[in-house]
């Protein structure tokens, strides 16, 4: 299915206090939102169906602390689709972005957290923060959101969804975030979503997580179906040098579910790395 970048979605960029920049990994061109400033660069990798602008509210909350740079991951937003969507493909893109900055930090949410884990094993970083990474994988059961559900939401977005329809699935989200998802979800490549979801169940997060060097923090929602209590316990045992921080009353979409608490705990995780 053809990706659709709506005119009203592009107009959203006029209200974002960031500059569009580009990176390239081979033939794949990657769009970035660079919030500027003199702080330590923080490269941010969003989730499976979250173009960069969907994390604008997270980036804005950090501009006094760091220089946020949010990536349109391949197959989303204004970045190119790619010939592959494995963790290795995504990590190659992340490395290309990180090479633009000196001594950067890396933050990933959901899919982005899995990418950040792989990337952190491939080059030195000032530090990493992983937020609610999918811990499903071989012999670990399915990812809690089905591919059918993801593709149904994508089809609805391409046909023309609204913030009210998004609110039916995500009632806790701030209204602006529901509106942005309604306008930007259709920019996600169907194959990218399908292949990434397959990777959630075939690529082993823990094999990489155990190798992620310190300093690293894993933030997770107390009510997340993605990082369960058992998963958090296993993560702590697999990487004893990592800090694990539970975010009260948050599900998998931690920043959207409990913005104030999640952003406060994220800031506390970043401060020692500056």
Residue 173 belongs to a domain: no
User: For 213-258, what is each residue's pLDDT tens digit?
Assistant: 999 999 999 999 999 999 999 999 999 999 999 999 999 999 999 9
The number of folded domains in the chain is 1
Predicted local confidence at residue 58, as pLDDT = 98
Query: pLDDT category, 184, cuts 50, 70, 90?
Result: very high
Q: Identify the domain containing residue 250 by its residue range.
A: 16-140+203-273
Predicted local confidence at residue 167, as pLDDT = 93
How many Å apart are CA 140 and CA 83, to the nearest integer? 27
Residue 208 belongs to a domain: yes
Residue 269 belongs to a domain: yes
Residue 170 belongs to a domain: no
Residue 157 belongs to a domain: no
Residue 36 belongs to a domain: yes
Residue 115 belongs to a domain: yes
How many Å apart are CA 192 and CA 104, to the nearest integer? 27
User: For 7-63, what is each residue's pLDDT tens digit?
Assistant: 999 999 999 999 999 999 999 999 999 999 999 999 999 999 999 999 999 999 999
**Residue 269 sits in a domain of what CATH number?**
3.40.50.1820
Residue 177 belongs to a domain: no
């Amino acid at each position: 299915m053809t990706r659709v970048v709506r005119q009203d979605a592009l107009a959203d960029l006029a209200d974002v206090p960031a500059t569009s920049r580009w990176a390239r990994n081979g033939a794949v061109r990657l769009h970035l939102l660079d919030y500027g400033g003199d702080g330590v660069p923080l490269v941010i990798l969003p989730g499976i169906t979250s173009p960069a602008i969907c994390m604008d509210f997270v980036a804005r909350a950090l501009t006094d602390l760091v220089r946020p740079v949010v990536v349109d991951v391949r197959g989303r937003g204004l970045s190119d689709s790619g010939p592959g969507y494995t963790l290795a493909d995504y990590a190659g893109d992340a490395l290309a972005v990180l090479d633009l900055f000196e001594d950067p930090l890396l933050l990933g949410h959901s899919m982005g957290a899995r990418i950040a884990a792989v990337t952190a094993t491939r080059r030195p970083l000032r530090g990493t923060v992983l937020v609610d990474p999918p811990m499903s994988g071989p012999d670990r059961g399915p990812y809690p959101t089905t591919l059918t559900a993801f593709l149904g939401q994508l089809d609805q977005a391409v046909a023309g969804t609204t913030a009210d329809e998004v609110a039916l699935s995500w009632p806790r989200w701030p209204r602006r975030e529901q509106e942005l998802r309604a306008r930007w979800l259709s920019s996600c490549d169907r194959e990218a979503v399908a292949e990434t979801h397959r990777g959630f169940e075939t690529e082993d997060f823990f094999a990489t997580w155990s190798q992620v060097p310190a300093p690293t923090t894993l933030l997770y929602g107390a009510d997340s179906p993605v990082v369960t209590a058992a998963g958090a316990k296993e993560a702590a045992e697999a990487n004893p040098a990592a800090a694990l921080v539970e975010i009260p009353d948050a599900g998998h979409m931690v920043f959207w579910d409990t913005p104030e608490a999640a952003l406060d705990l994220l800031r506390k995780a970043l401060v020692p790395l500056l």
